[in-house]
Structure 1
C-alpha cells in the first residue's frame, strides 16, 4: 500500500477531500502510481503531484482514473468540480494579494517624493485642510465689516486705501500699520495658507521639471520623445494554462497546464524497448519529449529551431525510476518543428525524424 505524503496545511478543505478520495480509489485498486499512469495515459510524475495535493488533475485524468479502477465516475466528477472551484478561488485570492502588495509599494514610493505641504496625490494635505478650517472659523467669528480680498489681485496697483473704516490711508511705499483685529489676523492666516499652497505647487512643478527635463537638447533644439514599444495585450489563456509561446520554454508542461488533454503526440518511435514521443500543445505553442518503458539512466531530448534563424533550442531529461521521464518545454510555431531523440544505456539511439543504432 503506498505511503502518502502529508497534504499541505494551506490546502482548501474541498481540495483536501477530493485528493483524499483519489488516494482511497488508488489504494482500493491495488495499483501502483506507475500502473495508474500506464492505465490513464498521464505520467507518473503528474499523478504524484495530483495525489500529493500539489496540482489539481484535469477532468480527463479523473475520468480515466475512474474508468481504470471501476470507481463511480459521477460522484468523483462532482467532487472534482467542487475542488476545481475552490482551487480557482485560492488562485484568485493569491493574485489579489500580490496586486495589493504592488499597489501599496507604488503608493509608498510616490509618497516618499511627495511635497510636505500643498497637495498630495491630487488632494489637499491634512495640514492645509486644518488651516483652511481655522481661517474660516476666524472669519465667521469676526465682527461685521467690509469684505477684504483673500488673495492679492490687480487692485493692489490702485491708489492706497484705508485698511479698515476710520484708519488713515498709508502712503505709497510705506507699509500699513499692523492690523490687530480678528479680521486682520484671519486675513494673515488665509494669506499664509495660500502662500504655503503656492510654495508647495512650485516645488511639485520644479520636481517634475527636474525629473522629466526641459525637453531641449544642448543645442537648444527640442529633444525627441523616447520611443516606446507599442502596447501589447497578453493572450487570453484557458483556465489552468499558465504560459504560451516563448514564455513556456524551459518550464514544466504539467505545472503550466499544457499536458494531459491539452496535448497530443505529434511524432513517435521505438528505440530498443523504449517508447519515445513528441508531445505538442497547440494552446501553449510548445512541445516536449517523453519516454516510457525505459531503464534508469536512459536520456531523452527535445529540439526545435531557434527564432530568427538562430541556434536550435533543446531541453533534456533522464529516467531515474519508474521507467519514464519527460523534458521541459521548447517554444514551437508548428506541430512539425519539434524532434525527440533518445539515448539508452544499452547504446541504442534514435530520433523521431531519423533513427540510428549504435
Structure 2
C-alpha cells in the first residue's frame, strides 16, 4: 500500500483533526458558519481536506470546542510548510497597459490641444457626480443585517447540555470563572458561569485518564464528565451544564488513582 506524503497528507491529517473537533462541538455546518468567520461552503472544503483554512479559523474552532489550539496550530504550520493549497486572495488591480499603437503622433498632439476650459468642465462634472452619489441615501434593503446570535438554551433548560453547541461560551458573551483550583502539580479545575445562557459548568485540565469532575446546583441535580483517553487529557474537558449560578454551585474533582475529592463552591 502506498502511503500518502507531502502537502496532501499533511492537509488530510489537519482536516481529520478539524472534523473531529467540529463533531465535538455538535455544530452543523450551518451553525458553524454562523459562529465563525467562514462560510458553510468554505468549511465544507476545509473539513474535506481540499483547502487549507486560515490559521485564525483553526483558533476559532478550538475556542468553540473548548480545546487548546497548540496541537492544531502545529498541524496547520506543517501543512502550510508542505505547500498545501490556500484560499486565493482577490486579484490586485492590474497596471494600465500600453496605449494602443493605432493612434498617430498627430492624433496624440491634437489631444493636448484641448481648451483648458473643456478639461476643467469635465473635471467639475466628475466631482459633482461623486458628491451626488455620496449624498444619495443607500438602499437599506440591499444588505440585510444578520440576526443577532441567540443562546440555544437558558436557565434550567440548559441542564444536561454541552455549553459549546448552545453558544454559551462564545467570545463576548460574558462567560467568566467564578471559582478555580490550580495546584502546582496535578489536575486543575474551575467553575464557569454564562450570563448569556444563565447556566454553569465545571472544567478539568492537566488530568489523567479516569479522573472525574462533577458540578451541581440547587434543584438541578449533578452533572459529570470523565477523562476517557489521552485526547481528553490534552486540553480542557467540560461537564454538561446545570441551570443557574453563579451562586450556590458546587464542583468536585475526583482523582482516579487515589479516590481523593477536591471540591469548590461559588
TM-score of the two chains, using structure 2 as the length reference? 0.48
